[in-house]
Structures are given as structure tokens and as C-alpha cells.
Structure 1
Amino acid sequence: MATDDIRTELSERYLDLLAEVSGSGRTPRRSELEAFRGLGERGAEAGHGLRELVARCLGAGREAWQSLPGVCGAATVSELRRAGEAVLAAAEAVLAALGEGHERAQRLAMRQEEAARREFIDDLLFGRSDLGALAERAERFGLRLARTHAVAVAVGAEPYDDVHPVVRRVERELVGRFGERDVLLATKEGRLVCVAPDSERAVLEAFAQLALHPGAGYRAGRRVATGRRHSGAGGVVRSYEEALDALDFADRLALPGTELKAEELLVFPVLMRDRAAMADLVRSVLGPLTGARGGARPLLDTITVQADAGYVNAEAARRLGVSVRTLSYRLERIKSLTGYDPSQALHRYTLETAAMGARLLGWPERPL
């Protein structure tokens, strides 16, 4: 039905009902109100705002009132009051039903739009769609995938969803500062994701700061990782995966930073590219540590902390919470068990690489 027909039908139904209840004094029936809900829904689908539909009804009612003959003056005051109350009650019920139908259509449209947006985000971040079709769909959501993009991923103290207060806060701030600039903000698997073109690096920087420090009354974020810049729809997938990898490596290695750049962590994907070789290195170099009293963990931690402290024994002992004498004993045990001397540069590099591989592989808690 054409949009003019919808408005005409609405006016006619509204006037017919008012005319009927003004004489009978009855309230609108359930079926009549449902019909107005349906008209509100159809009006929304046709692109009419609720204000326009309400104005149509009220305007039709006013015109009908102005055209009434003067015989109304013969009615008693009580009769006019009863008729007026019936008309006003009917108008109130009709307009409420009209609004319910309109809102019902709006909610459905929003759910459909959100479902389409969610499907697009899944396809975009996981590369599960034809790239040409994906680029066409991206324009609907404000992205031009022919450009070079980077992806930032934030994790918080608790999983994020679309209605999380921090998500709404970040969204409001980004839109307020930068407006609509070919930027996509979404939640995925409990994380907050921001896709922005390379020309808008300030957006990603602001996203990271807002996610980590959303302000008073909000829980601070835990980490934000940003993938490298890549072009095309496939580039978004690659940047997203790099950001996820950076978060994973940071967790497994207990890295201290809260803002991570994928390009600064490229050594870890290189180390893990040949997992079997890394496992063999850990077994060969660090395997003998399992024979130490207390197991391998204390000595493995000693290797890691000693490297982090720049091989300054006093600082390493402080970080480990042991005396310098105890640290020296541990270093001697590492040397005697593995055959690698931490004081020699090549041996030191081998021990550090093996210790890093152990952390990435979860050894010794997880068997290799």
C-alpha cells in the first residue's frame, strides 16, 4: 500500500472510531486498537515518523470538530461532557496503540540492522566473505575497504558487550571528537574492536587511551593492542589477527605494558613459527632443570628475571625476593644442570630464547 493510502486509512479509521464512541460512550475494542498498532507499524515501515502520524490523527479530528453542525448546542452539558470524555479516552488509547506499533516496527528494524551489522563484522574480521561483496557491504557501515586500515583491540577487567558502559563511553567520546570518519567500533568475543583508516591514526590513539582510562566511574581497561597497517578487506583481517596475537603473547609472557604495538612484538610470531623446533629447544636446553630440588620453575624464573634486570645481580635478587647469595647459587645450578653459563653471551642468548619459548608453550606446567 502506498504511503498516502496508509495515512488516509489512518485518518478514516480514527474519525470513524471517534464518531462511534462519541455516541455510544464505549471504550475502543482490543481488535480496534490492534488495527491501529498495525497502522503504526506499517507507517514506520513506509518511512513516516511517529510525530507525523500523530499529527495526522489530531489534525483530522480538529477538522471534523470544526465541521460539526450547530445542533450540538442543543445537547445538555452532561451529555457533552460524557461525549467529550469518551472521545478523549478513545484518542488517548488510539494514539498509544499507534505509538506501540510504530515502536515495534522500529525495534524490529533495529534488530535486523544490528543482525546485518554483526554478520558484516564477523565476515570482515574473519574473512569469511567474497572480498568484492564485502567491500560493497562495508560502505553501508561507513567503511571504504580500498583504503589502508589498522585494527586496535581492547580487553577489560570483564568482557565487553554492546551495552557495556565503557563501550558506550568510548563510542560517545570518539564520535564527539572525530565525528563519522570511516571508523567502525564493535564488540567481538568480549573484546572492544576499533577499525580505522591509516589516515586517522589519531582515532586509534584516542581509542586506546579511552579504553585504558575511560574516566571516573568506569573500570579501567587491561590492555590494548594495535595491529599493523594493511590495505584492503584482507588487510583488516590481518591487522585484527596481529592485534589478537599481541594480546595473547602479552598474557603468556606476562609483559608489563598496557598499550601494545604488533610491530614491536614481531619476534614472538617468528619464534613460534616452528613450534616443533621451539619445543625441541626447550626440552634440550631447559629439560635438565626438572631434576633440581623444587623443580624447574624457580630456576626458569631466575633466567627470565635475570634477563629483565639486565644481568645486574642485586636488581635480579630484589625482583625475585631472594638474597644475592641465593641468586648466585641458582645461577650455578643452572650452569651445572644445563651446561649453559649465563655469564657467556652465546649461552645467555640460548637460555633467554629457551626460557621465552617455555613461557609461550606453558612449560613446565604443560608437557611438551
Structure 2
Amino acid sequence: MTNTANISNNIATINTNSSSINTIQNINTSQNSSITNNTASIVINENSISANTNNISTNATDINTLKANNTTQGTSISSNTADISTNISSINSNNLLIAANTSAISTIQNINASQDSLITTNQSNISINTNNISTNNSSISSIQSINSIQDGEIANNSSSITNNLSSINSNASSISTNSTNITTNTSAILSNSANITSNTNSIKLTNTSQDLSINSNTSNITTNSNSINSLNTMIRQDGNTVHIGQNSVVFEDSASYDAMYSSNDQLNIGRVGHNTQVVGTLSVPNPTLSDHATNKRYVDAGLAKVLAAAVLPQAMHGESNVSIAMGQHNNERAIALGLSHHDNENNVIYRFIGSRSNNSSSSAVSIGWGF
């Protein structure tokens, strides 16, 4: 009969070891999957590095394009500067012509004065002088027309100069913007280079960490196997109960309840210096001994008895009193009975109080002297 029991225990142990081996194999499969995923991540990082290299090449092309645009703009600025010089020269030439016209007008006016004097002294030459005056007037009109045209050209030149200044300011702003963009591209190139270096270091660290993790997992598998073998000697099953340790803690699996108790009838929960906290609901029966734990219902019933006793009236003026009172606290009810007598001659009060709730009774006796 003992051999049969040993064989059954050995079969159970073999089944447990088989389950542990399957668990370890599943862990190995999971680790192989993790290694495959890490390999895929390395390939993705290499693709990212290649993409960064292409972006750096594109940035270099954009910088060369910006440099070419700057050269073109410099040529345009030089052309505008030459046009401004030409406009200034034309303005100076116009100023000379205006000065010459002014001198000619002054000369004609002197001639007119001379002619007026000749008309006064020589009436015979009035007709000739009149014709000359008419001719001079026509010349003056022609000169004034020319001056009006020149005034329009001067106004046009001023507008062109204003437009040229606006173009120069616009070109200066574009040059400043291009300089900012070049600085930004340079910063981006430096950032990409730093990211490439960081990614390379991260890949090296990841590979090193994976190697260490594989070595650690191999060691942990060996440790777990040893722990499983050790646990097989510490944990045993007896029917619907599981025993842990030699002087064992017993876990019982029943159809109507689950239980935990000690095989030596002494079980401590927690230890000195440790904080033991109950999560959920802990049901405690009503206490029957002085060192038993209590529950909320028992405490509420006690408070209900106190409240009932507190409201019992007291005898006065040499009379006796019998009273009944009810008390309630958190749905727990209590009833109290009171007897009291006042000795008016000696000014002494005698009291007896009794209360009851949930099969629990309390009583008190008191004597009081007045003076």
C-alpha cells in the first residue's frame, strides 16, 4: 500500500516537472521571438540612418541652390546700382539744360527791353520789332513746352529712383532670409549627425543589453529549475488540501468555501514590525472571550445600549422611578431598563440600569449624594 502511494506521488511529481519543462520551453520560445523582434528593430534603425544620409545630401543640394540664388540677386543689385547711377547722370544733365534755358530766357528778356527802347526812339521800326517780339514769344512758348516735358521726365526719374530703392530694400530682406535659412539648414545637418551617432550608440547598447539578457535568462532558467525541484519537497497535496512547509500552513479547497489554517492549530497573520492590511471585506464573529476581535455590528450594538441607558430619566423630589428607553446606532437597536429612587431626607439618589442588544447585556448601579 505504501509503494502504491509512493508511485502515485512520483507520477504527480513527474506531471508537475513536465508542466515546468513546458513552461520553460514557452519562455525560450518567447525569448526567441524577442531576439527576432530586436533584429527587425536593428534593420529599421539602419533604414533610418540611410534616410538621414539622403536628407543630408538633399540639404547640401538646397544650400548650393540658395548660394546660386544669392549670386543672381547680387548681379541684380549691381544692375540696379548701375541704373541708379545712369538716372543720377540724366538728372544732372537735365539740371544743366534747365540752367541753360533760364539763361536764354534772361537774355531774351534783355533783348525785349532793348527792343522796347528802340520802339520808343524809332517808331519806324515798330513793325519790325513787333515781328521780332512775336518770334521771341513763340520761342519762349517752345522753351516753356520743353520745360514742361523736362519737368515730367524729372518726375518720372524720381519715381524710378523710389522704385529702385524699394527693390534694393526687398533684395536686402531676401538676402537676410537666405542667411537665416542657411543657418537653420546648418543646424539641422549638425542635429542629424548627432542623431546618427546617438542611434549607432543605442544599437550597440541594445545589442549588448540583449546579450546580457539572454545570459541572465539562461541563468534564471537554471535557478528556476532548481527552485522548482526545491518547491516540490516543500509543497505537497493531500486530497483537497495543499500543505506548505513541514509544520505546514494548510490551504483547503472545499465545494462551499476556501480555508487557510495551521496544521499545529496556531496560525499568526503578519509579524512584529510589519503592517498587515486587509483588502476587501473581513468577517469577524461576535466576540465571546475578552481577547477576541470584534466587528462593527457588535460595536454599534454597544453604542446603541449606551444611548438607551443615557436617556433613562432619574427620580427626583423624594420619588421613585421605573423607566424604559430605546436606543439605535447604525441600524443596531437596544433596550434599557432603569430603576431609581431619590431619598429626599438624606439627599441620596440610588440608580440601577440594565440594557440589552443582540444577546448582549450590560448593567450598572450607582449611588449619589447631594450637598
Tell me which interval the TM-score lies in, with the shorter structure as reference length: under 0.3
Larger Rg: 1 or 2?
Answer: 2
Relative contact order, higher structure (CA 8 A, sep 6+):
1
Q: TM-score by structure 2 length?
A: 0.26
Q: TM-score by structure 1 length?
A: 0.27
Answer 1 or 2: which has greater strand percent. 2
